[in-house]
Amino acid sequence: MGAADAAAAVARAHGLACEEPVVLRNAWHVLVHLQPLPLVARVTSGAPGVAPDDVLRELEVARHLVRAGAPVVEPSDLLDPGPHEHDGHVLVFWKYLTREGELDPAAAGRGLRTIHDALADYDGDLPVAGRAGEVDEMLAAFPPSQDAELLRELAARELPAGQALHGDAHLFNCIPTASGPVWHDLETACRGPREYDLAALAWEDPRAETALAAYGPYDRDLLEEALPVYAAWIAASFMAAAARRPETAERLERQLRFLRRYA
């Protein structure tokens, strides 16, 4: 059973009629809009580096941010948001947001500051920024190589202690809506300095300068220190996904060329 069919089946099991499930995105996860309901299922099916605990942590972090009024996607209130398991898929349900216009990077940067401020008192258990253990797991299937060892070394670099973070705060994880940008995909929430999230914001995005300027004060040197730590985790996930997503090979090579300068 495919991701869309699994999402529709779980919705129907909870008494929700879905006329036409529409796949919004098919990358690390599959996002399915269960039309005509204001409901989106995020379906995980063996994506690299994704553990069941990540899904539960995401819901806890999202609920904390919603209570604080931060600009994040809310878990669904039409049914228990999950996680649900169906036919080998893990599903979490979220409120559907209508995209409107182009993303305003300045507003997104200000929204990320709001998220960081709201997470300053979050005391839930979260992995350390860099996720070195996860990088090891993703690279375990590959033969020894200089690139793999470099990714392990960079991901294991210690950053100063910090707070709860989004964990993957690039602008493609921000949705433009009529009420402003809304952040989503908190599954990789972690702990570290705020500059780790800002490294994600800056990584390979020409809009980063505008977003960072709007974010407000931060430590530029620490951002530069965090950049290869974040980028190593991204490159490891691309390496692990290359077999099922061959279209990522060119981007992976570009990432590795950048990271080799830190060898």
CATH code at 69? Answer: 3.30.200.20
Q: Do 86 and 139 lie in a common domain?
A: no
In a shared domain, residues 158 and 190: yes
131 with 243, same domain: the answer is yes
Same domain membership, residue 194 and residue 85: no
Instruction: Choose one of 95, 118, 151: the last residue of a domain.
Output: 95
What pLDDT was estimated at residue 183? 97
Q: Residue 146: its pLDDT value, please?
A: 94
Co-location of 73 and 174 in the same domain = no
User: Do 140 and 255 fall into the same domain?
Assistant: yes
Among 95, 114, 146, residue at a domain's last position: 95
Alpha-helical (H) ranges within the chain are 3-13, 52-67, 105-119, 132-139, 146-155, 194-202, 208-215, 220-241, 249-260
Residue 53: which domain range?
A: 3-95
Q: Is residue 117 over pLDDT 90?
A: yes
- Is pLDDT at 176 greater than 90 in this prediction? yes
Which of the listed ranges 24-33, 190-199, 237-246 does the model predict with the highest average pLDDT? 190-199
How much is the pLDDT for 46? 55
Q: What is the CATH number of the domain that holds 184?
A: 3.90.1200.10
In a domain, 16, yes or no: yes
pLDDT at 50: 53
pLDDT at 165: 98
What do you get for the CA distance between the two ends of the chain, in Å? 44
Tell me the pLDDT band of 247, cut-offs 50, 70 and 90: confident
| pLDDT digits 0-9 by tens, 50-105 | 555 678 889 999 999 999 999 999 999 999 998 898 888 888 999 999 999 999 99
Lowest mean pLDDT among 166-170, 238-242, 254-258: 238-242
pLDDT over 90 at 114, yes or no = yes
Residue 70 domain-assigned (yes or no): yes
- What are the structure tokens assigned to 142, written together? 């590959």
Bridge partners (DSSP) listed for residue 23: 32
Q: What's residue 26's pLDDT?
A: 76
Q: Is residue 77 part of a domain?
A: yes
Residue where a domain terminates, one of 51, 67, 95: 95
Enter the DSSP assignment of 78. S
Q: For residues 90 and 163, state if they share a domain.
A: no
Residue 24 sits in the same domain as residue 87? yes
Q: What values do phi and psi take at 64, rounded to 5?
A: -60, -45
Domain membership of residue 100 (yes or no) is no
- Asked if residue 247 and residue 139 are part of one domain, the reply reads yes
The mean per-residue pLDDT over the stretch 212-225 comes to: 97
In tens, the pLDDT along 94-109 reads: 999 999 999 999 999 9
pTM: 0.90
Range with the poorest average pLDDT among 35-49, 169-183, 194-208:
35-49
Total number of domains constituting the chain:
2
Task: Report the alpha-carbon distance of residue 65 to residue 18 in Å, rounded.
Answer: 29
| Stretch among 3-12, 190-199, 239-248 having the lowest mean pLDDT | 239-248
The percentage of the chain sitting over the pLDDT mark of 70, rounded to a whole number, equals: 95
| Both structure tokens of 30 | 């599959």
pLDDT at 53 (0 to 100): 67
The pLDDT of residue 121: 96
Q: Do 110 and 159 belong together in one domain? A: yes
Mean of the per-residue pLDDT values of the chain? 91
Residue 20: inside a domain:
yes
Q: DSSP code of 77?
A: S
Same domain? 214 vs 181: yes
Q: Tokens in use for 213?
A: 């300027």
User: What is residue 54's predicted lDDT score, i.e. its pLDDT?
Assistant: 73
Per-residue pLDDT band for 249 (boundaries 50, 70, 90) equals confident
Same domain for 244 and 131: yes
